[in-house]
Structure 1
Amino acid sequence: MKSSINRQLFQTMVGALSALMLLCACTVGPDFQMPPPSQSQHYDQQAEQRLGEGGDKAGEQQIALGHKVRGDWWSAFQSPKLDKVVRRAIDGNLELVAADATIRQAASSIAAAEGTLYPQVDFAAQAGRQRVHNAPEPAVSNFYAIGPRVGFDLDVFGGNKRRVEHQQAFTERQKHRYEAAYLTLTGDVASQALLMASANAQMQAVEKLLANDAKNLELVRMAHLNGATTRIDVSLAETRLAQDRTLLPPLAQQRDSARHALAILTGNGPADWSAPDFDLAEFVLPSNVPVSLPSAMAHDRPDIRQAEAELHIASAAVGVATANLYPHVELSAFVAQSASGNGGAALWGFAAGLAGPIFDGGTLKAERQAAVDGYKATLASYQQTVIQSFGQVADTLQAINHDAEQNLAQEDALRAAESSFRLNQQAYAQGENSILQVLEAERAYEQALLGHIRVKTAQYLDTVRLYVALGGNSIGVFEQRVAARETPNRSYQ
């Protein structure tokens, strides 16, 4: 009779456990779905139309709406020096090195989380010496027990699976952070190289102007010796030369700061490595820039992909909090060889444990609601990130549009100022006007020349910003880094 009861109890337990194991395929909580793509087809229609029709005049650019950036975006500037420095920065930048290590750390955490989905096998051993007092004759004996133990969390409602999913999404976020750092790095390198080139071009222009100042001063001094002009005219020419000399130090500082920034971006101290001198003439302004549609850009920008991964993390957190509302089932078993005194025996055991919440003061439900609200907040942040990215592209498109307009106006101003300056110099040499008129004409030419260089620099920098705003070629670069990890280090001059 007793054997029949035990058999029925065992069969009931096995049936219950079988039913629970069938529930393992039912993971509670929401299954993550990617947010639907944006329905927007434009960033700024006026800028798109204007730039879509541009490119006919020198200094104008055209966009190819609906096309994606292919290859290394900075290669569009056709500067071998820039390509070499960017490559050096990608290999040596310490922020990328740190981001790489963080991703590998996160990947190890995935493996650790996945371990909970499998049986946990331990080995236990115990040995000691004991004395029995309540025996007919008190005795002292040795004892030991040794053997393996196995535990397995059935994860009936998928809490552990959601934790693995959470960690996978976290790792995905870290990859997109790496991509964002890569995109920022390449954009910074290109920008600093252009700033250095701009400073060099402006310094060359200022040095040319200083040579003209010195020439004018010599003419005025000779005229003063001949009695054709006054000491006031000489003083004006000296003042102009002294004032124009003050233009060089700030430009030299801009050049040196850019050089130092490039060294740091490549993972070196400013005294340990020096970037090559960049010349603005060695850069080619891309005449045709591919611009992906808003609906497709979400797949090209790492910050949007990062926000998407954060949304996935929040979704998995809801699943974990939901699973915590349900019972937790664990199986365990052990086999041991034990002995005490002169006797020994082989022992085994099997057990199933079930624990579930009955009353917790509303803690678990509140935690789930907090996770749901966190998901909603993360969704709003994702949507805001998408909208802001559209705004960045729209702003940059308009900037490029206005740069082209300003470039044309500045070229006209430069030609007019240069002509006026030459005519005034000739007239002064023939005694037809005063030195004051020459100096004013020179000042107008100086401003027009420097303004022209600054406008061209703005065109280059805004083009860099557009490539960065569109995501460049950053998606997937971490996988490329992993594939090239065993490649021998490249050398740079």
Structure 2
Amino acid sequence: MRKALPVLLLSTALLAGCAVGPDYRAPALDLPEQWPEHVLLSAEARADWQQWWRQFEDPHLDALVARAVDDNLELRLQLARIQEARARLGLARAEQLPSVSAQAEAARERTPGAASPLGQSSTDNLFSLAGVLDYELDLWGRLAREREASEALLEQSLFAHDAVRLNVIADVVATYFDLRSAQRQLRITEATAASREETFRLEQLRFDVGESDELALRQAQSELESTLAQLPSQRERVRVLEGALGLLVGMTPAELMAELDYGDTDLEAIALPDGVPAVLPSELLARRPDIRSAEAGLIAANAGIGVAEASRLPRFNLGGLLGSAAGDAGDLFTSAAGTWGLSATVMGPLFDFGRSASRIETAEALAEQAEVQYRATVAQAFNEVRNALVTYEASGERVEAIRRQVTAFERTLELAEVRYREGFVGFIELLDAQRALLAAELALSEAMRDRLTATATLFKALGGGWQVEG
């Protein structure tokens, strides 16, 4: 028996490296070699782009992003999930190691005479103290696959946190631009209302001295009231966006209910980057945290197949005991009280009526779902990049077109005012020019916001910040 035990240990050790189940292989994907031609920066110009929101050169925005990264509740939730995944990985690693426990026992037992060979009853004490070792030989790689799955799930949690962080930052940036645009539109409308109030006052004076009829007076009044009617909804939008931004950056309820102040940056003062760093399509798979998270989920699901396949095979456990036992507590730890034991057990299912097979089929189905999810995530990511590139170019063209439109309407209004004072055109022509300019100025504010948001969206679609290697 003593000769057979080393042979058993050696053979099981050789088998321990055999892990059942498929090894992970990344799915084959049909990727484009290059993006379409767009305004992209070279690799040499990437150095300052890891914190991409700083390219807008707005300290108020930088402060809001910094607070959101620290205080946003979604990010806190993801951090808690990372801690959970890290703890599960620690458990999976520990399962591959022996467990050592201590065992202490004190017993007093009466043996009846009928059960004694001498026919006499007796009462005996037993005291024992021992260390017990238990170790599962991972012959089929079940524990190794569980560790592989736990490592992948930890990576999935880490990448999911990065994805949420990127989304939160992009949402903060976009909401901030919305707020600045709404504030600018409110200022334009307030200035227009003041101008039209002055126009109405002048028309009232002209009407009083008989230089104008009541129709022109009422038209001026109607235009003033129409402009004033836009102010409540615009003020409401500013307040709503202030609250939305406060929620994104993790403000407390008390802060949200107080007066919110995000500085006085004007929309036009926000810098617009000249371009974005060039990222090859193949690099996007490594840059997008949502893609990395989906792939980590696929790796974990693939390892789950190995766990399920190994579970249907026998488990080998080794046990050992070393301690001291005596009838009197004072005799413990003497040479005569020494005790030890070795054991080896094999246990596996014989008839489980399809349970093991169902577990394997379930694991394979989950792996297939994970692969489909991974492919869908990749396709969605590339479509987001495509749309972001298109919007990025179109938004710039729209801003330039509306700027030219505003310039034309400003000149039109100047001429209309001159000709109205000289009596060559009626008051309705002047009102038309004022309406057109107001609409164009509001549209320009929206276009400027859209161009800034499109830039931020492109940053997000390409995976956020760029880390230069070298």
Check whether the contact 2:156–2:293 (CA below 8 A) recurs between aligned residues.
Answer: yes
CA distance in 2, matches of 1:412, 1:434: 26
Question: Equivalent of 1:87, from 66, 70, 75?
Answer: 66
Question: Equivalent of 1:346, from 326, 338, 341?
Answer: 338
* Alignment partner of 1:25 is 2:4: no
Question: Which residue in 1 is equivalent to 2:281?
Answer: 294
Q: CA deviation at 1:474?
A: 8.2
- Structure 1 stretches of 4+ with a deviation exceeding 6 A read 65-69, 341-344
Question: Equivalent of 2:363, from 358, 365, 371?
Answer: 371
| 1:289-368 mapped onto 2 (5 Å cutoff) | 289-340=276-327, 345-368=337-360
Q: CA deviation at 1:289?
A: 1.5
CA distance in 1, matches of 2:466, 2:240: 27
* Alignment partner of 1:285 is 2:272: yes
| 1:212-227 mapped onto 2 (5 Å cutoff) | 212-227=195-210
Change (3 A) 1:28 1:103: same
* Alignment partner of 1:114 is 2:93: yes
CA distance in 2, matches of 1:357, 1:118: 24
SS at match of 1:90: helix
Greater shift after overlay, 347-356 or 14-23? Answer: 14-23
Check whether the contact 1:182–1:474 (CA below 8 A) recurs between aligned residues.
Answer: no
CA distance in 2, matches of 1:75, 1:367: 50
Question: Which residue in 1 is equivalent to 2:189?
Answer: 206
* Alignment partner of 1:96 is 2:111: no
SS at match of 1:333: strand
Question: Which residue in 2 is equivalent to 1:55?
Answer: none
Check whether the contact 1:38–1:294 (CA below 8 A) recurs between aligned residues.
Answer: no
| 1:25-424 mapped onto 2 (5 Å cutoff) | 25-36=17-28, 38-43=30-35, 45=36, 48=37, 52=38, 62-64=39-41, 70-134=49-113, 135=116, 136-269=119-252, 270-271=256-257, 274-340=261-327, 345-424=337-416
Q: Could you tell me which amino acid in structure 2 is paired with residue 116 of structure 1?
A: E
Q: Percent identity?
A: 28
Q: Could you tell me which amino acid in structure 2 is paired with residue 40 of structure 1?
A: P
Check whether the contact 1:41–1:293 (CA below 8 A) recurs between aligned residues.
Answer: yes
SS at match of 1:298: helix
CA distance in 2, matches of 1:384, 1:101: 27
Greater shift after overlay, 290-299 or 306-315? Answer: 290-299
Q: Deviations over 1:5-36 (max 9, x none)?
A: xxxx4433432332122101112222223345
If the length of structure 1 is used for normalisation, what is the TM-score? Answer: 0.86
Q: Alignment length, in residue pairs?
A: 453
CA distance in 1, matches of 2:227, 2:81: 51
Q: Deviations over 1:47-101 (max 9, x none)?
A: x3xxx3xxxxxxxxx2348886832111111112211221122122232223223
Q: Deviations over 1:104-153 (max 9, x none)?
A: 23212211111111111111111122211133332233322221111000
Q: Could you tell me which amino acid in structure 2 is paired with residue 461 of structure 1?
A: T
| 1:444-455 mapped onto 2 (5 Å cutoff) | 444-455=436-447
CA distance in 2, matches of 1:251, 1:362: 65
Change (3 A) 1:333 1:34: same
CA distance in 2, matches of 1:311, 1:454: 42
Check whether the contact 1:100–1:178 (CA below 8 A) recurs between aligned residues.
Answer: yes
Q: Could you tell me which amino acid in structure 2 is paired with residue 310 of structure 1?
A: G
Check whether the contact 1:141–1:341 (CA below 8 A) recurs between aligned residues.
Answer: no
Question: Which residue in 1 is equivalent to 2:3?
Answer: 11
Change (3 A) 1:231 1:16: same
When the two chains are superposed, the root-mean-square deviation of aligned CA atoms in Å is 2.2
Q: CA deviation at 1:325?
A: 2.7
In structure 2, stretches of 5+ residues that fail to align are none
Q: CA deviation at 1:242?
A: 0.9
CA distance in 1, matches of 2:348, 2:2: 22
